[in-house]
Amino acid sequence: MTRRIVAFALLTAMVLGLSAGSAAQTVRRGAWLDEIVVVEEPSSPAALTRIEAGDINAFFWGMAAADLYRYRRIVESPAMSYVESVGSFDELTFNPHGPTFRDGRLNPFAVPRIREAMNWLVDRDYIVKELYGGLAVPRYTMVHTAAADYARLADIIRVIDRKYAPNATLAQQVITEEMRKLGAELVGGKWQYKGKPVTLIFAIRIEDVRKQVGDYVSGLLEGIGFTVERRYGTSAELSPLWYSGDPADGKFHIYTGGWIRGAINRDEGGNFDFFYTPRSTMVVPLWQAYKPDPEFDAVALRLSKREFSSMEERRELFAKALELSLKDSVRIWLVDRKSIWATQKGVQAAADLCGGLSGSLLWPYTIRYTDRVGGSMRIASTSMLTMPWNPVGGSNWIFDMTLIRATSDFDLLPDPYTGLFWPQRLARAEVYAKQGLPIARSLDWVTLNFVETNKVPADAWVDWDAKAQRFITAGEKFPEGRESLIKTVLRYPADLFQTKWHDGSNFSLGDMVLRIIMLFDRSKPESAIYDSASVPGFNSFMGHFRGVKIVSRNPLVIEWYTDRYYPDVEWVAADGSAFVWPYYAQGIGPWHTLALSILAEADKKIAFTAARATALKVEHTSLIAGPSLTVLRNMLPGAARDKILPYEPTMSQFVPREESWARWNNLVRWFAQRGHFWVGNGPYYLEKVFPVEKVVHLKRFADFPDPAGKWDRFGVAARPSGTITGPARITIGQAATFDVRITTGGKPYPVKDMQEVSFLLFDAKGELALTGPITAVSDGLWRLTLTAAQTGRLPAGTTTLEVVMVSKLVAVPSFVSLDIVTRR
Amino acid sequence: MTAASTTQGARRAESSFVRVARYTGVRLIAVLVTVVVGVYLTILIANMGGYVDEIRMGQIREAVGLMAGANPDLPFMSDEERIAYVEQLVAIEVERLGMDRPFLLRSFTYLANALTLNFGRAEQLISDSGSRLVRLIIIERLPSTLYLFATGQLLLFGSAILLALYLSQRYGSWLDRLVVALAPTSAAPGWFYGIFLILIFAGILRLLPFGGMVDTPPPADRLQYALSLLKHLILPISAILMGALWQTTYFWRTFFLIYSREDYVEMARAKGLPPHLVERRYILRPTLPAIVTSFALQLISMWMGAIVLETVFRWPGIGQLFFRAIGSYDTPVLLGIVVTYAYLLAVTVLVLEIVYAILDPRVRIEGRKAEA
C-alpha cells in the first residue's frame, strides 16, 4: 500500500512537473524560434530547390509573374507553402507633348481623348490571365487595390471599372475621330501624317512581364493602323528616353512603367498630384509637360493638401478626381502585381499585404514552426549587407531593413492587412485635432477629440541650440505664443523602463531624449556632427513641427505638437510617437552606442551618412563590420573610462550617473563577446555577422518582455469570401430578397469585423441603377431586399448584382456578383 | 688574361648591360603606353563616353523624386518649397558622386588616380564589411577568388600538363582516344556543369552544399572553418575541371605531340634514353616558354575571377564584384579591378620576355647569334 501511495505521489509529481513544463512553454516570451540564420541566395529556382531539400526554410523574396512556372512549382510541391502580396503595379506612361514634336513628327498621345481611349483598347483581364498567369489584379484607376482608399471608394471604383471595361470598337472609333482632327489619314490601313507613317516609339522594359505587355499593346496599336517601333531595354537604358529626356524631342511615345509599394497606404489623396501634375516631386521634363485640365488640377491639389473638412467631402473630391484622371490619362493603370513568398510547409509568419515577408514588421514576432516551439530556422534572400548598418543614416536596403527590424522593438506596429497602427510599447494616446480637420478613428487605443485650438506650452521644446547643447523653449522662441493643429498625448506603460536592451541595459528616458536631440543637432551648422545632407529633411520637418514636452517622466507622458495630420487618427498618434521613440531612420539606437558614433564623427573619423562620409573622406559608419569597427573599438575604452554622456548639458538632466556607468560597462562586455556594436531591443539580437560569407546569425532575446504569441492573430489575412443566393429572375415592380453569406477560412465572418457590405446593381445597359448598404442579419449572413419601387426602376434584361465586402481586418475589399434576369 | 682582353670583356659586359637596359626600357615604355591607353579606353567605355552621367542623373532624379514623394510633409509645402526640397536632395547626391564636375575633367582624374594606384572611394558599391575604399573592396574579395581559382587553375594546369605529356607518348591509346572524345565537352563552360553538380550532389544526394564559401553560420574553430571551406570547394573546382580539363589536355597533348615527332626527339629515343628523360629534356624543355607563358597568363587571369561561376556557386569573389561594378556604373571599382589586371599583365609580359631569354637558348637580345 505504501508503495502504491509512493508510486501515486511520484506519478502526481511527474504529471504536475509536466504541467508546469507545459505552462512554462505556453508563456514563452519573445520570439518563437531560438535562432535564425540568414543566408544569401540570389537565384529564385535555387532557393526553391533548397527549400524542397530542407536546406533553407523560407525565401524572403517575392517572386512575381516572371517566375510563373516557379509559382506552379510551389503550389504543386508537397514540401512548400506560400503567402501572397500585392506591392508592385504596372502602367503605361504616355508622352503628352505635342501634337507634334520638335522635328514635326505627330504625337497622337498629346490628345487626352486618345489616351483615354487606350483604356478601352487594352484588355486588363487578358493581361492578368494570359501574361501574368493570374498573378495580378486588373487595375483601372490610380487607387491601389490594396490601399485603404480602395476599400473606402470601392463602389465608385467599380463603376469606373465597368465604364472602362475593354471595348476595342469604342477605342478605335475615338482614336480614328481624333486622328482625323489632327490631320492624319488612314492609307491602306496605316495611319499617315503629312505623307509619312505615324510611327510610335514604344520604350519597353525587359526585366519582367512588362516585355510581354509591351508586345501585346504594340500589337493592339499596330492592329488599329499605327506603326510601332519597339525599343527594348532595362531601366537604366530606357531612363534617358522617357524619364530624363525632353518629351519635346519625341524619343518615346509610350513607356511600360512600373512602381513598387512596400506598405499599405492609408491615404492615396496626394497621388493625383504626384502622377498627373507638374507639381509632382518628379522634377523632370516629362512631368513638367503635364497639363491637367484646370478642374482636375484644382481637385488634385485640394486632395494633396487635404483641403477638405470631412471624409464625405474628401470622398466627393476623390470621385471627381478619379473621373477626371481617366479623362486625362497621361498614364493608364494596368495591373497590381502579386508576389509569391515561398516557405517550407510548417513555417508560419505574418506577411504584409503589400511588402510580403521582407516588408513585414511583424515577421520576427510571428515567425515559427507550426508544430513546435523553438528551433533554428534558416532563411534566405537575394542580397543583403549591401550597405553599412547604423541607425541614423545606414543601409536602407529592403532586406537589410528586414533584419534590422528583427533586432528592433517598436512603439507601434502596423497591421499587415490594414496599415493601421497597433500599440506595442506605447500604452495609449489622445489626439486633440483642430475643429474641422478630416480625421477619423478606427481603433480604440487612441482617442480623438476636436478642439478650437492647441496652445503650445511655453516650456515645450521647439528648437535646439547646438552650441549650448540645450533645447530652446516655445516661451523663448515664440514669446507671443504658438498654436498647433494637432496635439498628441503619448502615454507609455509603467514598465517601459524595465524593458531591456540586448546588452542588458535598461531602456531609459535618455534614449528618447537623444532621439529628440538628433532631430535637430545634425542640421545645425554649429554642431560637431553637422551634416548638410540632413538639412532638406530638417527644413521639411520644421515646417510642421510645433513643439514637444515631457509631461511626466514615470510613467512617461509626452505631448507632441504639430501641424501634420493624416485621415486616420492612429497615424496621427504614430507620427508623434515616431519622433520620440529611439527608432531612427534606419534602425533602433540606444543612447550609448550612438554616443560612441557621435564621438567618432565629431572627431571626423567616420560619418553616419554616405554624403558626409564622402565629404570628410572617411568611412560610412557601420556598427556591425568593417573599418568603422576599428575606429569605434579604439574609442570605446576612453569613452567607457570617462563615462561619456553625449550632449551632457541636456542629457545629464535625464541620465543618472549610475545609468551611464552601467551602459558603458554593458557595451564593453557586449563588444568583447560579439565583436560588433549593434545593440537593439527586438525579439532577436545580432549574434554575429559574416559580411564576406553573407551570413547573419540572429538569436532569441530571452529578456524580451512580451509573450511569444502576442501578434499571432495576424498570422493569416481574414479576407472575406462571399456567395449570393436569391432568385435568378425577378419581376420588375416586385420586391426581391438576396442572402449574402460571407465567410473567412470556412467560418462565418463576424459582423463586428465587417466595415461595410454594400451592393451595386448594374442594369442591362451596364449602367449603375442602384447602390446602397446591405443589412447584417447574423455573423456570416447579410440580407438585401430590393423593394418593389426599386425593381420598378430597372429595365428588362440581364441585371448584375455586385456585392462589395469591406472588412475592418483587411484593406482589400472582396467582390461577388450574380446575374439576374429582370422581366416585366 | 691580358689587360686588353679585360678591357674588351668589360666593354662587352657594359655593352650587354646597355643593350639589356635599352631593351627593357623600350619594352617598359611600350607597356606603359599600352597601359595608359588601355586604362583611358576603359574609362571611356565604362562611362559610355560620358553618357552614363545622363543615365545616372535620371536615376538620381527618379530616386529622389520617389523619396520626396513619400515625404508626408509634402501636403504642407508650397510649390516653390517642394521644388527647392527636391533640388537640394538632387544636389547632395550629385555632389556625392562628383558629378558636379564635367565628365572630361573627371576622366583625367580617374586616369591619374588609376595610374598611380590611388583607387580612392567607390561611388556606389561598398565592401561586404562596409568600406567605401576601392582598395579594401577589392582586397576583401581577393582571398576568396584566390582560394577558388588558384586551387582550380593549379589543379587544372598541373593535371592537364602531366596527362598531356603522358598521352603524347601514348598516341592512339584508348586513354588518348578517350581524351580526344571528351575534348568537345569543354564547349560548355564550368558553370554549366556546376548547375548539374549542385542539382545532383546538393539537391538530390544532399552530400555537398548548394554553394557559398563555408557552412552557415561559419564555424568558429579555425580547423573546422578550413574543413568547411574545403568541402565548399569541391563542387566549384569539379565544375572548373569538368569545363576545361579535357580541352586543355587535348591542346597540350597535341602541342607535345608536335614536339615529340621532332628529329632530335626521335634521335634521343633511338639512343635508348628512358622515356622520362626524353619527356623532360627533349620535349618539356623546348616547350617550356609556351608552358610558362600559358601558366603565367592563366595565373593572372585569376584576378578577374569568373562572373557566372561565382554567381552559380554564390562564391563572393572578384568576378561577382566586377559584375556589380559594371551594373552600377561604379567607375572607381571597375578601374581598380581593370588597372590592377593591366599592371599585372604588363609586368607579366615584361617578366616573360626576360624569362624567355633565360629558358630558351635560341632567344637573344638584339641579334646576337644563336650559339650552335
Give all strands (DSSP E) within B45-163, no chain letters: none
Same domain, B232 and B338: yes
Instruction: Give percent above pLDDT 70 in chain A.
Output: 96
Return d(Cα B187, Cα B195) in angstroms, integer. 15
Is the pLDDT assigned to residue A490 strictly greater than 90?
yes
Which residue from B86, B140, B211 is facing A281, i.e. has the nearest CB?
A: B86
Question: What local confidence, expressed as pLDDT, does residue A645 receive?
Answer: 95
Return d(Cα A424, Cα A490) in angstroms, integer. 13
SS3 label, residue A698: strand
Nearest 10 degrees: Cα torsion A459, A460, A464, A465: 0
Same domain, B158 and B289: yes
Same domain, B64 and B166: no
Which residue from B88, B121, B144 is facing A692, i.e. has the nearest CB?
A: B144
Partner B contacted by A45 (CB < 8 A)? no
A461 alpha carbon, distance to own chain's centre: 31
Tally of domains in chain B: 2
Q: Does A280 contact B76 at a Cβ distance shorter than 8 Å?
A: no
Task: Note whether B318 and B304 are within 8 A (CB).
Answer: yes
ipTM of the complex: 0.76
Taking CA–CA distances from B144, the nearest residue in chain A reads: A692
Return d(Cα B25, Cα B28) in angstroms, integer. 5
Return d(Cα A441, Cα A448) in angstroms, integer. 7
> B23 versus A133: which is more confidently predicted?
A133
Range in A443-447, A460-464, B270-274 the model is least confident about: B270-274
| Runs of H (alpha helix) within B261-330 | 263-270, 275-277, 285-301, 307-312, 318-327
Which residue from A305, A389, A694 is facing B75, i.e. has the nearest CB?
A: A305
> A11 versus A73: which is more confidently predicted?
A73
Taking CA–CA distances from B76, the nearest residue in chain A reads: A305
Residue B125 lies in a domain: no
Could you tell me the end-to-end alpha-carbon distance of chain A, in angstroms, rounded to an integer?
90
Chain B interface test: which of A283, A307, A631, A686 (most B C-beta within 10 Å) = A283
Nearest 10 degrees: Cα torsion A59, A60, A64, A68: 10
Across the A/B interface, how many CB contacts are shorter than 8 Å?
183
> Could you give the angle at which helices A68-76 and A44-52 cross, rounded to 10 degrees?
10
Same domain, B303 and B218: yes
Sequence letter at residue A790:
Q
Question: What local confidence, expressed as pLDDT, does residue A18 receive?
Answer: 41
SS3 label, residue A267: coil
Q: Does B121 contact A270 at a Cβ distance shorter than 8 Å?
A: no
pLDDT tens over chain B, length 372 residues: 455 556 666 666 666 677 777 877 887 888 888 888 988 998 898 888 888 888 888 888 888 888 888 888 888 888 888 888 999 999 988 988 888 889 999 899 888 888 888 888 888 888 888 888 998 998 888 888 888 988 898 899 999 999 998 888 888 899 999 999 999 988 888 899 999 999 999 988 889 999 889 998 889 899 999 999 999 999 999 999 998 999 999 999 998 888 888 888 888 888 888 888 888 888 888 888 888 888 888 777 777 667 888 888 989 888 888 888 888 888 889 888 888 888 888 888 878 877 777 766 665 555 444 443
Question: What local confidence, expressed as pLDDT, does residue A476 receive?
Answer: 97
Question: What local confidence, expressed as pLDDT, does residue A788 receive?
Answer: 93
Question: What local confidence, expressed as pLDDT, does residue B355 receive?
Answer: 76
Place of cell 510581354: A212
State which of B62, B83, B115 marks the end of a domain: B115
Mean pLDDT calculated for residue range A678-694? 94
Closest CA to A217 of A205, A249, A207: A205
Same domain, B70 and B176: no
- The torsion region of residue A606 among left (phi > 0), alpha (psi -120 to 50) and beta comes to beta
Residue B372 lies in a domain: no
Same domain, B42 and B185: no
Return d(Cα A777, Cα A740) in angstroms, integer. 10
* Domain CATH number, residue B200: 1.10.3720.10
Residue B217 lies in a domain: yes
Residue B347 lies in a domain: yes
**Rg, C-alpha atoms of chain A:** 30
- The half-sphere exposure of A675 on its side-chain side, counting CA atoms within 13 A, is 11
Chain B residue numbers touching A49 (CB-CB < 8 A): 199, 203, 210
Return d(Cα A685, Cα A702) in angstroms, integer. 10
> B297 versus A574: which is more confidently predicted?
A574
Mean pLDDT calculated for residue range A320-332? 97
Same domain, B146 and B101: no
Residue B361 lies in a domain: yes
Q: How far is B118 from chain A (nearest CA, A)?
A: 14
Q: Does B92 contact A536 at a Cβ distance shorter than 8 Å?
A: yes
Residues 623-682 on A with a CB inside 8 Å of B are 624-628
Model confidence at A16, pLDDT cuts 50, 70, 90, reads very low
Q: Does A305 contact B59 at a Cβ distance shorter than 8 Å?
A: no
State which of B115, B150, B174 marks the end of a domain: B115
Instruction: Give percent above pLDDT 90 in chain A.
Output: 74
Q: Is residue A432 within a helix (H) or strand (E), and if so which, with residue range?
A: strand A428-434
pLDDT digits (tens, 9 = 90+) for A757-773: 999 998 888 788 898 99
Q: Is the peptide bond before B217 cis (omega within 30 degrees of 0)?
A: yes
Same domain, B65 and B213: no
Partner B contacted by A454 (CB < 8 A)? no
Same domain, B259 and B337: yes
Closest CA to A545 of A481, A471, A489, A487: A487
Which residue from B79, B129, B130 is facing A279, i.e. has the nearest CB?
A: B79
Same domain, B111 and B138: no
Closest CA to A279 of B43, B74, B266, B201: B74
Mean pLDDT calculated for residue range A394-404? 92
Provide the domain limits for residue B93: 3-115
Residue B128 lies in a domain: no
Give all strands (DSSP E) within chain B, no chain letters: none
Task: Note whether B123 and B132 are within 8 A (CB).
Answer: no
Chain A residue numbers touching B212 (CB-CB < 8 A): 39-40, 693-694
Return d(Cα A706, Cα A685) in angstroms, integer. 15
Please provide residue A546's backbone torsions phi and psi, each rounded to the nearest 5 degrees: -120, -20
Same domain, B22 and B90: yes
Taking CA–CA distances from B79, the nearest residue in chain A reads: A279
> B80 versus A362: which is more confidently predicted?
A362
Mean pLDDT calculated for residue range A64-84? 80
Sequence letter at residue A498:
Q
Model confidence at A22, pLDDT cuts 50, 70, 90, reads very low
Q: Is the peptide bond before A707 cis (omega within 30 degrees of 0)?
A: no
Residue B205 lies in a domain: yes
Question: Average pLDDT over chain A, rounded to whole?
Answer: 92
Q: How far is B236 from chain A (nearest CA, A)?
A: 16
Mean pLDDT calculated for residue range A81-108? 94
> Which cell numbers hold the place of A422?
497597433
3-state percent breakdown (helix, strand, coil) of chain A, nearest 5:
35, 30, 35
Mean pLDDT calculated for residue range A217-246? 92
Model confidence at A237, pLDDT cuts 50, 70, 90, reads confident
Same domain, B358 and B215: yes
pTM: 0.84
> B112 versus A66: which is more confidently predicted?
B112
Return d(Cα A606, Cα A598) in angstroms, integer. 9
Q: How far is B303 from chain A (nearest CA, A)?
A: 17
Question: What local confidence, expressed as pLDDT, does residue A262 receive?
Answer: 80
SS3 label, residue B275: helix
Residue B339 lies in a domain: yes
Chain A interface test: which of B126, B138, B232 (most A C-beta within 10 Å) = B126
State which of B63, B86, B115 marks the end of a domain: B115
